[in-house]
Structure 1
């Protein structure tokens, strides 16, 4: 397919005023290629990217996309823009999901999520799990177990097409912001990675001063979201860290009182799966996030639910963020069940290597109840609630200081809650005085 032969057009307009505006964009195709005989290469369909400008905040818009010259236009859809930035202006409900996949559990998660009518969706990595399949479509819950002799980690890219069609009823009307997970790596010829991720999603990288699709930021009302990359350089000398310093220094807490950070691999998970795997990222970045008073952190990767108390450097701290692991969207690799603090479950330190970035930073604790040990021998003080169930979360920021967090289990009836807590900011107790960067 030649994307140049098809136009990228969106007709749009305010609700009741008709689709009187027109925006042109660009289109592309991407390929997943393998340098081995017998593997099936893939070239995507045409992916369209169009930026809509001049939108009013907190306003319903109708839109239709396609190429009217063929003619080939979509059905008419609608969306609602985010409220304007301000200390009393917030989206009604923000849905948080991670490790979604395309399974029976995924269907249940999205059904429950849509029943909560979110205004914004954050997907914290691992969307389609196309890399749990060979190029011929044969899949397995554990790729390395079933396909240990493949010369390269294969993917079945049509899974992305299936996933997109499945998600259309949601994402055609609710904005979705995505950050990469390990299942988006998808290595191919010449060690190229993240081709599908970078092509299929849109990122406000340029608008937020980022040079990468792996990390960016945006505002949604009085919330500043920082989306960070756990699978790109996070060291203090790297581009991401330097970008993050500048981005955080520009945040005006009088305009966006809430500061929320997300990335895929968690720092504070007590499950055996991926235990302390992201320790090098924590060592590099935690001080910076603490300095600027990040309120909440959302992660995925571990296929379970866990909410921490406010924590910093493994110690309870009233000025540290609340860390929430919500990698329970559906996946394909099944649920994480065992905890590292249970007898016989503590992983060996050698198993905590960051396999993609190559770092090793996890050592025995040097203070506190677990001093001299690699794991606690009971549920750590910083872990407030944990459960192995599929589900999703809803964040409702009420004002400058109070936000309601609710986690919903898939097995419960619609509207039934699994974990509910108010997260309270204390700016007087934890003042933030950012550096001034012009």
Structure 2
């Protein structure tokens, strides 16, 4: 059986730059990053989100490190939005989103997911030497340490009310996952090993969880970390808390466990490689080509039956990155073949050569649709898919790019 050829480094570099070009209009007039429509035009009717703004800082800081002209001003403007518009000057921390007038939307709760991305943004901005980056990172790590890290469990609190008076009862693996990503980056940038140790404690928990559930990771928990397998059964396509096992998160965890292993070395928890393989194999078995069409389904039930069959761009991106990581770690050709197959899928179905970026969502027949993710608000997963295969498993992304042979222009 023949396999498609994987893209070479020159193609990956060009695709990374094409993606960054799509996002050049991202800065919102009120501050922070706008939600981009299918053509890369800011949709000013939508709120300004902290997670999108943070990811904008991250990817354009990396773009600057890659020497892509014009990235530094975008990253700096988005960083300023985190320090001003999206920051809660009254109670501290960051709002999840603000409206076009700069007022917080919804209940103005403070989420671990958002704050983890603020830490990631700060760490990447420090590596890129952006103005205000050191202050943002110091501020973000202090808030995270005080409010979201739970030393007793070695995990994270998911959400607080605005004034930090009481944490919500919900605990979630998605916030924990992005906390691991941020903690690895913060440890690399600051040299404070405690952040790597915290990432390792969460990773050790995931090793046990994956083994207990045959590689289908539960996402939702009560305040004592009791598993809730039925949350949102009536809203299975929720973009942040979907019912069932999320195929893309299995792939993302598969990769992150290898980053933890590479970072901690002999001090890493046991079982990271084995669990990475388990999560990868389960995601592929349950999710890839599961209904007669190529692509990854979004979610499955606890028996592996597809629930939400839409194809999300970020899942394919994480599949690519996980396959690359496992191939780098093991040298096994099966992972290289998956990597090539999934890039072929991206080029055939997701990559939008006419309007830019990647289609964020396809229907089960691989036609563009927008039931869960309208527009193209996120460059993060796609940009990382062009970079991670070309870099070592440690250090984290911005630090690894900075150590490569690229020379950034002045900020």
TM-score, structure 2 as length reference: 0.36
Higher relative contact order (CA 8 A, sep 6+): 2
TM-score, structure 1 as length reference: 0.34
Higher helix share: 2
Higher strand share: 1
Task: Give the structure with higher Rg (CA).
Answer: 1
